Each structure stands twice: as C-alpha cells, then as structure tokens.
Amino acid sequence: MMKKLLRNPLSLFGFVLLIFFVVMAILAPMIAPTPERHKHEPYRIPRYGWEITPSPPSEEHPFGLTQGQHDIFYGVVWGARTAFFVGLVVVGSSCAIGIVVGAASAYIGGRTDEIIMRIVDIFLSFPFLIAAVVITCVLGKGLDKVMIAMICFWWMNYARLLRGNILQIKQEEFVLAARAAGVTDIKIIIRHILPNTIFPVLISASMDLGSVVVTAAGLSFLGLGAPEGYADWGQMISFSRNWLLGAPGEPLKYWYTVIYPGIAIVLFVLAWNLIGDALRDILDPKIQA
C-alpha cells in the first residue's frame, strides 16, 4: 500500500509537504529563534511594538507584523508545532476512546451492544461544530478546552468502524479456539481480535489529522481557542479579519496578514487530503474493478 501511495504523484507530493511541516515543527527554535526576553514562553508570538495596525514585510520580519505587531513568520513556524500537537492529541485520544467503546460493544454483544450503539447515535445527532462550541463555552475558552470539546465528539466513527470489523471476525475459528482454550476475554481482545481489526481504524484516524487541525483552527478563529498572541494559525487568521478592507486607495494593503498563515494551514490540510484521497482510491473496491 505504501508503495502505491509513493508511486502516485499527488500523494507523493502530500508526503513531501508533510515532511516539510514535520521538519519545520521540530526545527522551530532554529528557524525562528525565540528572542531572549521571551525564552520562558516560546509559544507566545513576540511583539515588536505596541501599535495595532499591521506593518508590511521587511528584512527583519520577512512575513510582516500582524495586528499588535505580532511577528507573522514566528507565528507560522511555531504554529506548526501547535497544529501537530492539537492534531495528535485529539486524534490519539478519540481513537483510544473509540477503540475501547467499539471493542467492548462488539465483543460483549447483545443488549449492551444495542445500548452502546444507540448512545453513539445520540452523539452523532449533534452538529459537530455546535457541540464543540457548547463544551468550550461551558468549560471556558482556551486551546486545552477546545481539544477536550473535540475529543468528546470525535470518537464515534472509530467506535463504529472497529465494531463492524470485530463483528466480522468474532465467529472465526481462531477466536473460538482461543475461547475454548480458556483464554480470558481481555487477552482474546488484545492478542487475537485487535491485531486483526485495528488497522483500518488507525488509517482512518491518521487521515483525520488534517480536518482536526482545521476544525481547531476554526474554533480559534471564532475566538474560543488559543489566547491572543499564542502561536496558532487560526487565531492569526482571525486577526486579519479586522484588516481585510485595507486602507483608502489601497484595498489590498494588509494582504500579508491572511496570506501567510492562510498558506500554512491550507498546505498542511492539503497534504493530509492528498494522501487520504489516494488512499481511499486504493481501498475503494468499486474503483479497482
């Protein structure tokens, strides 16, 4: 499968983009060094002045300074770390919840299964963004609250997927044999069932990383996420909302406030979507025919 993905030029491009972002996130302290006075909080974008109006790109600040003189280049580079952090935490935690719920539901079966699946249905009946807004609003604003809110409403599809896969193999001989040999339930699930069913779930989860990052950025854009000045792409774009009209006679004067953080987030999501799209083609039985 990996071979097929690397042979497809589009998904190959996706991988290249992704590696670029990984390198950028890891090397952030070298690409955009934190000024001495900020050393203790590197995720706060340094400010170069107190004026509200953005300043255009210059030699010192290649991407310009956005609202409040926050350095855009610094924010874009360190924002990659925030993006990976949010994506990995949300996808990892909700995947873990989904696996536990899905495995329990399918393995126990019967009435428990029915009840768990109805609960899943109830969770699915909420529009995701609204549910996330509610939880963030009740818990209070902040990046951590945004992540909690997203985890609460992101696990259901993994649970369903895993449950379906387990139901397919639950009656196969190797499972029955293990049970007849007196192996405990937990051990059967971990040793025999999960290794045979978990991969589609992990793949689908890893492909969700892009959309998780976009949604989190969207919540930051709505003003519910990271505090002002935190290195977060969504929040930087919400700054640019105040400057989209430019100045009289120069309608595009503040283009750099949206273009640079915008490009960062678009390329990040594009990378995941390109890989995901190629992957879905490879896995789609209809197209293989």
Partner 1 sequence: MLSYIGRRLLFLPLVLFGVTLFIFIAMSFLSPYQLVSSYIKSPDELKNQSLDDLVKKYHLDDPAHIKYFRWLGNIVRGNLGYSRSANMHVADAIKARFPATLELTVFAMIPVVLGGIWLGSISAIHHNSPLDHGTRVFAIIGWSLPSFVFGIILLMYFYGVLGWFPPGRLSTWADMIVLSKDFVRYTGMHTVDAILNREWAVFWDAIRHLIAPTISLSYLWWAFILRITRSSMLDVLNKDYVRTARAKGLPENIVIKRHVRRNAMIPVATVAGFMVLGMLGGLTITETVFDYKGLGLLTATAAQQLDYTCVLGTTMFYGVILVLSNLVVDILYAIIDPRVRLD
User: Site residues (CB under 8 A) for partner 1?
Assistant: 10, 118-119, 121-122, 125-131, 133-141, 210, 214, 217-218, 221-224, 234, 237-238, 240-241, 244-246, 251-252, 255, 258-259, 262, 265-266, 269-270, 273-274, 277, 280, 284, 286-287, 289
Between residues 19 and 263, which has the closer beta carbon with respect to partner 1?
263
For the range 234-239, what are the long-range contacts, defined as Cβ-Cβ under 8 Å and sequence gap of 24 or more?
234/265, 236/66, 236/70, 236/72, 236/75, 236/76, 236/79, 236/261, 237/261, 237/262, 237/265, 239/66, 239/67, 239/68, 239/70
Q: Shortest gap between Cβ of 10 and partner 1 (angstroms)?
A: 7
Sequence-separated (6 or more) residues with CB below 8 Å from residue 59: none
Q: CA 23: distance to chain centroid? A: 17
Between residues 5 and 265, which has the closer beta carbon with respect to partner 1?
265
Residue 99's DSSP bridge partners are none
Between residues 200 and 262, which has the closer beta carbon with respect to partner 1?
262
Q: Shortest gap between Cβ of 73 and partner 1 (angstroms)?
A: 18
Q: Shortest gap between Cβ of 253 and partner 1 (angstroms)?
A: 9
Between residues 135 and 198, which has the closer beta carbon with respect to partner 1?
135
**Any idea what the Cα angle at residue 81 is, between residues 16 and 243, rounded to 5°?**
95
Between residues 178 and 270, which has the closer beta carbon with respect to partner 1?
270
Q: Shortest gap between Cβ of 35 and partner 1 (angstroms)?
A: 28
Between residues 48 and 123, which has the closer beta carbon with respect to partner 1?
123
Sequence-separated (6 or more) residues with CB below 8 Å from residue 10: 274, 277, 278
Cα–Cα distance measured from residue 54 to residue 48, given in angstroms and rounded to the nearest whole number? 11
At 51, list the tokens: 């004026």
Q: Shortest gap between Cβ of 48 and partner 1 (angstroms)?
A: 24
C-beta neighbour count of 54 within 10 angstroms: 21
Between residues 158 and 239, which has the closer beta carbon with respect to partner 1?
239
Q: Shortest gap between Cβ of 181 and partner 1 (angstroms)?
A: 38
Q: Shortest gap between Cβ of 236 and partner 1 (angstroms)?
A: 11
Residues 5, 279 contacting (CB under 8 angstroms): yes
